[in-house]
Chains A and B, each alone.
Chain A
Amino acid sequence: MKAVEVVNLVKVYGGGIPAIDNLTFAVEPGEIYGLIGPNGAGKTTTLRIVATLIKPTSGSVRVLGFDVVDQAEYIRRMISYLPEEAGVYGNLTGYEYLRFIADIYAKSGDESESMIEEALEISGLGSRIKDRVKSYSRGMRRRLQVARTLMVKPKLAILDEPTSGLDVYHAHYIRRCIRRYVDEYGLTVLISSHNMLEIEYLCDRILLIHRGRSIDDGPPRILKEKYSSNNMEEVFLKAVGLT
């Protein structure tokens, strides 16, 4: 069984040009799979469909064997989604926020406690966790979000630009956390990013998307060889046929 299986996916918003045009890919369990492409390529739309937030126009999307339209409830028990623009409501404290999510996902009080502990570790917020989210910097908010996404140990984590707005320091740290979770708990990660370095460091395999269509996919190393490039940026430009 694939962790994510997308077959001939099409998404059209309100009769316009398709945001996703016949996209097909599969994510194996336990791997980190990255989507790269320019703005408006359809990355976020794809992730939101996998997260059961929007319905596909046609084609089939299965997550861990379940259909995103008919069996969304089963999928939601196993996934955790980090949107690109995650607004945590400013007037709650970081702790109140984590507590709420832990209580929803956990099956017991103990489990919920240990989730919060892990989130504290990932976020590195320390005593600031008792402060209102309003007072956090952009980086702190992002770390809180990443922490809440990982702490529930989902079978599939869907991360839309997880390190956007983070500096090298914290981005590094978050990447290590993601890696560690994958190695320790065997979770599958579907990720999108602008940062080619991040993609190279993190992903086992990547998919290049352009204008809602898939251009190529494979492990970063193989792709670099295939396009005889030094970095992923060049790979992308060559694959799209720009240089």
Chain B
Amino acid sequence: MTPIVELIDVWKSYDGVQALRGMNLEVRRGEIFGLLGPNGAGKTTTLKIIVGLLRMDRGIVKINGIDIREEPYEYKRLIGYVPESVSLPDYLTVEELLVYSGKIRGVPMMHIKERMDYFVKIFELEDKRRTLIASLSSGMRQKVAIVSALINDPDLLILDEPFIGIDPMGQHILKEMFGERVKDGKTVFISTHMLDTAERLCDRVAVIHRGQNVASGDLKDLQRLSRTGEDATLEEVFLRLIEEAKEMSMEKPIKEERKGFSIFFRRDAP
């Protein structure tokens, strides 16, 4: 089956920083996938390239098998995306924003209404429907943004650091929602640096460092790849992998990385 997201040797530099250096990634259909890495590793850049907010310098990105450079608009209808720091049109009410978000994605009226009613209830926003976004707290705005990303019932839900700024109850609701989507065969793709959450939640993860995929797979794969032993937590695995990657990048100067594939690229564990 074609993976829902596939990145092959993606490079990106901006503001004078080499953000991605040959990123390779594969997200499979029907899983909760976590993108992990330290600040500045390239998590947000990767996600922004996938949703079309940044353009890569070179490489291939395929969503559902479609090369996004050849089809730069249509594929977005499969996606629901929420950025890390959510900024919404303050001057609209919650309901108006959801209608707007649905309309521009070409979602039929009936479905907009149906999904709005459903998700507004789930995320406990019912009494806020006619409230201006300007009057909402930041946690609530994030919930509204998530609901707006769900309005087209996307095959691929992409959330950048969804657990930051959302309270424990919200996090709980969010995780339940993830589970439901995966049950329906949809994919959830998140970036996070909360490793304990990732360990409990994600089917598979990728650990990225300095714009490269250091290792990916499920926890067992990663334990093996990092040689940390079977009862190592994801945090221990993560720290070991990053440590290793740091050593390796110190041995080889950056210049040599410019040959298609990255030096510590490891293909996904089988």
Are A and B co-members of a single complex?
A: yes
How many A-B pairs fall under 8 Å by CB? Answer: 61
Are the CB atoms of A139 and B40 closer together than 8 Å? yes
Residues of chain A contacted by B195 (CB below 8 angstroms)? 168
Q: Which of A1-50 contact B (CB under 8 A)?
A: 36-41
* Across the A-B interface, the 7 shortest Cβ-Cβ residue pairs: A38-B167, A39-B139, A167-B38, A167-B39, A139-B39, A236-B168, A167-B193
Residue A237 is within 8 A (CB to CB) of chain B in the complex: yes
Q: Which A residues touch B40, using CB under 8 A?
A: 137, 139
Q: Which residues of chain B are within 8 angstroms of A240 by Cβ–Cβ distance? A: 169
Is there a chain A Cβ closer than 8 Å to B171's Cβ?
Answer: yes
Docked complex Cα distance between A240 and B168 (Å) = 11
Q: CB of B228 within 8 A of chain A? A: no
Contact A138 B139 (CB under 8 A): no
> Is residue A164 contacting chain B, with contact meaning CB distance below 8 A?
yes
- 0 or 1 for each of A91-115: is its CB under 8 Å from B? (1 = yes): 0000000000000000000000000
Cβ–Cβ < 8 Å partners of A237 in chain B: 168-169, 172
User: In whole angstroms, how far apart are the Cα atoms of A231 and B138 in the complex?
Assistant: 25
Q: Which residues of B contact A236 (CB under 8 A)?
A: 168
List residues of chain B with CB within 8 A of the CB of A169.
Answer: 38, 239, 242
Interface residues of A in 197-243 (CB under 8 A from B): 197, 231, 233, 236-237, 240, 242-243
A166 at the interface (CB under 8 A from B): yes
Per the 8 Å Cβ criterion, residues 88-144 of B in contact with A are 137-140
- Report which of A40, A196, A197 forms a contact with B139, defined as CB distance below 8 A: A40
Contact of A37 among B37, B167, B170 (CB under 8 A): B167
What's the nearest-Cβ distance from chain B to residue A142, in Å?
10
Q: Is the CB of B39 within 8 A of A38?
A: no
Answer whether residue A194 sits at the interface, using C-beta atoms and an 8 A cutoff: yes
Chain B residues whose CB sits within 8 angstroms of the CB of A164 once the complex forms: 164
Residues from chain A with a CB closer than 8 A to the CB of B242 are 169
How far apart are B19's CB and chain A's nearest CB, in angstroms?
12
Query: Which residues 140-174 in B have Cβ within 8 Å of A in the complex?
Result: 140, 164-172
Q: Kindly provide the distance from the CB of A134 to the nearest chain B CB, expressed in whole angstroms.
A: 12
A3 to chain B, nearest CB (A): 27
CB distance from B191 to the nearest CB of A (A): 11
**Given A40-B139, A137-B40, A167-B38, list of 15 further CB < 8 A pairs?**
A38-B139, A38-B167, A39-B138, A138-B39, A165-B164, A167-B41, A168-B38, A169-B239, A231-B196, A236-B168, A237-B168, A237-B169, A237-B172, A242-B169, A242-B172
Q: Across the interface, which residues of A come within 8 angstroms of B257, CB to CB?
A: none
B205 CB to closest chain A CB (Å) equals 13
User: CB distance A194 to B167 under 8 Å?
Assistant: yes
A71 CB → nearest B CB, Å: 33
- The CA of A242 and the CA of B172, in the complex, are separated in Å by 10
Number of interface residues of A (CB under 8 A): 27
Tell me if B238 and A168 are in contact (CB < 8 A): yes
Alpha-carbon distance between A83 and B235 when the two chains are bound, in angstroms: 28
Min Cβ gap A17→B in Å is 13
- Chain B 218-258: CB-based contact to A (< 8 A → 1; otherwise 0): 00000000000000000100110010000000000000000
Contact A168 B239 (CB under 8 A): yes
Residue B269, interface by CB 8 Å: no
Contact present for B168 and A38 (CB under 8 Å): yes
B164 and A194 form a contact (CB under 8 A): yes
Q: Which of A137, A194, A195 has the most CB of B within 10 A?
A: A194
Residues of A within 8 A of B138 (CB): 39
Q: Would you give 5 A-B contacts (Cβ < 8 Å), ordered by A?
A: A38-B170, A139-B40, A164-B164, A236-B168, A242-B172
Q: Considering the complex, which residues of chain A in the window 137-195 have a beta carbon less than 8 Å from any beta carbon of chain B?
A: 137-139, 164-170, 194-195
**Inside 8 A of B166's CB, which chain A residues have their CB?**
39
Does A196 contact B168, Cβ atoms closer than 8 Å? yes
CB contacts (< 8 Å) of B238 on chain A: these are 168
The one of B39, B170, B172, B235 that contacts A170, using a Cβ cutoff of 8 Å: B39
Minimal beta-carbon separation of A19 from chain B (angstroms): 11
Q: Which residues of B contact A196 (CB under 8 A)?
A: 168
Q: How far is the CB of B88 from chain A (nearest CB, A)?
A: 16
With A39-B137, A137-B39 as known contacts, state yes or no: A168 contacts B193, CB within 8 Å. yes
Q: How far is the CB of A70 from chain B (nearest CB, A)?
A: 32
CA distance A190 to B239 in the complex (A): 28
B194 in contact (CB, < 8 A): yes
Q: What's the nearest-Cβ distance from chain B to residue A45, in Å?
A: 13
Min distance, Cβ B129 to any Cβ of chain A, angstroms: 19
